[in-house]
Structure 1
Amino acid sequence: MSLRIIVVLAVLTGVTGSPSVTIRPVADSADMSTAHPNSVPETVEETEIFGQAELFEEEEAEEDVMATGELNPNHYPAQRAAKVVQHYLNTRYGSPYRLFGLQRVHSGNAEDVADSRRKYQLEISVQEMIGNTTEKCSAEVIFARGEQRSAQVQASCEALHKIDTKAQEEEFYQKYKKNPSLLSAQYLPDSYGHIEPDMKPLWHLGTVASSFIMLNESTENTLYNMAQVANVTQLPTENDQLKFDYHIALHEMVSQEIIHWKLLFTWSPAEGVKVLQMEQLPHCHDCEKPPNTN
């Protein structure tokens, strides 16, 4: 009798797997035990997968079925739409001292609307990453199918909009406006995932500016994350606006591609980020993947 019980338990274990397995993204850095502290996370809570690897196919099929109506908050349809809200908030309210990240999707619903569009209604938690302030927000994202057009986004996150960073922004602005030698820097973060403290506002500013690209490029089938500032050059100030030339690397999480872009933009505390030029650079076969892009 005891032998039969052991056999049955072994079979059940092989079918269902461990009930506490968590799949986490793996960084490319040699030290995979430490995630880069300034990278914007996909969510704080990562999806738990029950069973063995072959169940991923079942999950993908389930995602497709759930893409209309109530959504699983941990599955791609809800996560992708919510990530677009993060990019939207950064384009509207981001600065060198105010950076928004998606913390959690609480609920979501998707429906087909007129003109082959898809509308997602979401309840999410958004975190201001620098000041570590979190707010629950309601958002609506509408994707246009069959064409490359920016998603339409509406989001109600009133408390996050009111975070006061004016003093830090003004100090940053005056520092670089009066800087006799124009700034130039590379590899934020470096190959060890490190950013010097005085360079962090430039990383934040590059992340905010890159959200204009990610918002413009995002579809129902993409999931973008900022990977690295490969190069930043300060240009002469124009009309009281700081001007920057950035070469950035984005990580498209679905295809696992690293996509390089050139960004020319201005910034001031009063005007925020104003993008003058966005140019996707040719694919670099010999380029190394930046560290900790997940």
Structure 2
Amino acid sequence: MGLRIVAVLAVLMGVTGSPSGTVRPETVSVDITAHPNSVPETAEEPGQNVELGEEEAEEDVMATGELNPNHYPAQRAAKVVQHYLTTRYGSPYRLFGLQRVHSGNAEDVADTGRKYQLEISVHEIISNTTQKCSAEVFFPRGEKQQSPQVQVSCEELLNISTKAQEEALYQQYKMNQSLLSAQNLPDSHGHIEPDMKPLWHLGIVASSFVMLKESTENTLYNMAQVSNITQLATENDQLKFECHTLLHDMVSQEILPWKLLFTWSAAEGVKVLQMEQLPHCHSCEKPPNTD
């Protein structure tokens, strides 16, 4: 059954929200380089704003064999690789973005699910390093939704060391006289104060755990905003944070509020302890330029 999809670049940056889940995104115009999780489905260069505009693509979502790398089936599977890399290796100083899908192939695996073989370019945002990577994404099939399974080879990007920066930030946060807190990262103008960017990046990493868990062949998630993030008191070496975040499913155009409890240290990385989807915000507007 054919599915008609209008492929459009969506860059959602400026939304505001509250812990109660009553949120109302605002219109924002920002450069894509400020938003590592919003990447065009086809990009000529890292950080370039590219609109696929009025071009329409007809492709069966469940197509097998060779896939058009610019159409949604390949893009959705590739986006899962980005979320996987961020959950495993992301930090306040290391974030991953999907730059380009070079090729893709899909096949049914008996009655257990579907497997995607991909060649993609992954961009490490902060060091501005790009590498072509091979990846395999398996979407399990069954009555109960299961997280996609990912294997990826990206050795060059993963060898980038940020341990010294992370340890310095960890010590700074741990020794602060007062607990940290921030709201609306980014704000309605797409702005983030420089000293708040590590908290924004931690929110991206924590949100990637949700986006990986919730991803299916019918979703395409971006992290839109950290509505608020608060450092909590802790007696061990792991810094603890409570975070309310807004996710954007570009397929359904829904803005989804989530509440996360996670820890972070330079030695252990981000570990999500709890994740809870909050009630849908029926008053939320669609982000601009996504129709």
What's the TM-score bracket when you normalise by the shorter of the two chains?
0.7 to 0.9
| Per-residue deviation, 1:145 | 2.6
Q: Does 1:139 align with 2:124?
A: no
* 1:256 corresponds to which of 253, 256, 262: 253
Aligned residues of 2:10 and 2:289 also touching (Cα < 8 A): no
Query: Which residue does the alignment assign to 1:155?
Result: 152
| Per-residue deviation, 1:286 | 3.2
| Per-residue deviation, 1:236 | 1.2
Q: 1:30 & 1:260 partners in 2: Cα distance?
A: 18
Q: Is the partner of 2:263 in helix, strand or coil?
A: strand
Which residue identity does 1:259 align to in structure 2? L
Map 1:53-202 → 2, pairs under 5 A: 56=56, 59-60=57-58, 63-64=59-60, 67-146=63-142, 147-202=144-199
Q: Does 1:266 align with 2:263?
A: yes
Q: 1:293 to 1:207 in 2, by over 3 A?
A: farther
TM-score for the superposition, normalised by structure 1? 0.83
RMSD: 2.4
Q: Is the partner of 1:64 in helix, strand or coil?
A: coil
Q: Is the partner of 1:237 in helix, strand or coil?
A: coil
| Per-residue deviation, 1:184 | 1.0
Q: 2:60 & 2:205 partners in 1: Cα distance?
A: 31
| Per-residue deviation, 1:284 | 2.0
| Per-residue deviation, 1:285 | 2.3
| Per-residue deviation, 1:269 | 1.1
- Give percent identity, aligned residues only: 73
Query: Which residue does the alignment assign to 1:42?
Result: 39
User: Aligned residues, how many?
Assistant: 265
User: Which of 1 and 2 has greater Rg?
Assistant: 1
| Per-residue deviation, 1:249 | 0.2
Aligned residues of 1:109 and 1:120 also touching (Cα < 8 A): yes
Unaligned 5+ runs, structure 2: 1-6, 15-25, 44-49
Which residue identity does 1:145 align to in structure 2? R
Aligned residues of 1:193 and 1:292 also touching (Cα < 8 A): no
Q: Is the partner of 2:83 in helix, strand or coil?
A: helix
Query: Which residue does the alignment assign to 2:273?
Result: 276
Aligned residues of 2:225 and 2:245 also touching (Cα < 8 A): yes
Aligned residues of 1:225 and 1:293 also touching (Cα < 8 A): no
| Per-residue deviation, 1:259 | 0.1
Q: Is the partner of 2:227 in helix, strand or coil?
A: strand
| Per-residue deviation, 1:65 | 7.4
| Per-residue deviation, 1:33 | 6.7
TM-score for the superposition, normalised by structure 2? 0.84
Structure with the largest fraction of helix: 1
